[in-house]
């Protein structure tokens, strides 16, 4: 379940839940005046907390290190394609709204939206 490097520009090390050393893939894209921060789950190469469980804390750590304003970015979580036979390891992107309640925090992006952001 190795995640392809095409999903990220860098590996971002972060403090996961209970300070567990954790890693995720990170891409930052500026498209039409918007800053998209895309975090990718690395599965076997993430020794700690998942990007979803880390949630706002991960977003804050990225913003602090990259000098971004959390209120001015579009934050996306990526479930990368791992070429598994199992459908739950297919590629998916979610936009995260940390101010919404638990049920409405995530919105799955369409293929068109992904293409506009990533240019593929």
Partner 1 sequence: MDKVKLKLIYPKWNKLPGQTTFNLPPHGPVAFAATLPEYVDISFTDENVEAIDFDEECDLVALSMMLTTQVKRGWAIADEYHKRGKKVIAGGISTMLHAEEMVNHVDSVFLGESEGRSEQVIIDWKNGCLKKIYNYMGNQPPIESVGPCRRDLYKRELYNHKGVQMVDLFHASRGCRFSCYPCAVSYLGGRKFRPRPVDKVVEDMASIDNNRLFIVDNSLAQDKQWEMELFKAIAPLKKKWISHTIEDDPEVLDLAAKAGAWYVYQAVYDTSEYIKERVKRYHDYGIGVEGTILLGLDNQTVDDCKRLIDFLGEIDLDLAEFTVMTPFPHTKAYDDLLRQGRIFDFDWNHYNAGQVVFQPKLMTPEQLQDVYDYAWKSFYAAETQESKMFRLFCNVALREMEEGTYRPRNRKLANKSFGRDVDRSKRNVNLRPE
Summarize as ranges the residues that interact with partner 1 (CB under 8 A): 1, 17-21, 41, 43-44, 47-50, 52-53, 77, 79, 86-88, 92, 94, 102-106, 108
Tell me the β-bridge partners of 14. Answer: 22
Strand order in the sheet with 92-96: 10-15, 21-31, 34-40, 73-79, 92-96, 106-108
CB atoms within 10 A of CB 51: 26
For residue 59, the minimal CB distance to partner 1 (Å) is 15
Smaller CB distance to partner 1: residue 19 or 69?
Answer: 19
Smaller CB distance to partner 1: residue 56 or 66?
Answer: 56
Smaller CB distance to partner 1: residue 17 or 35?
Answer: 17
Token pair in block for residue 1: 């379940």
For residue 83, the minimal CB distance to partner 1 (Å) is 15
Assign 77 to helix, strand or coil: strand
For residue 108, the minimal CB distance to partner 1 (Å) is 7
């Amino acid at each position: 379940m190795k995640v392809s490097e095409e999903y990220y520009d860098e590996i971002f090390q972060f403090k996961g839940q209970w300070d567990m050393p954790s890693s995720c893939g990170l891409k930052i894209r500026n498209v039409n005046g918007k800053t998209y921060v895309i975090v990718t789950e690395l599965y076997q190469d993430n020794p700690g907390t998942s990007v979803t469980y880390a949630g706002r804390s991960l977003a804050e750590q990225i913003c602090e290190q990259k000098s971004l304003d959390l209120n001015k970015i579009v934050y996306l979580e990526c479930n990368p394609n791992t070429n598994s036979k199992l459908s739950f390891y297919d590629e998916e992107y979610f936009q995260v709204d940390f101010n919404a309640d638990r049920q409405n925090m995530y919105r799955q992006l369409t293929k068109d939206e992904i293409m506009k952001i990533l240019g593929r």
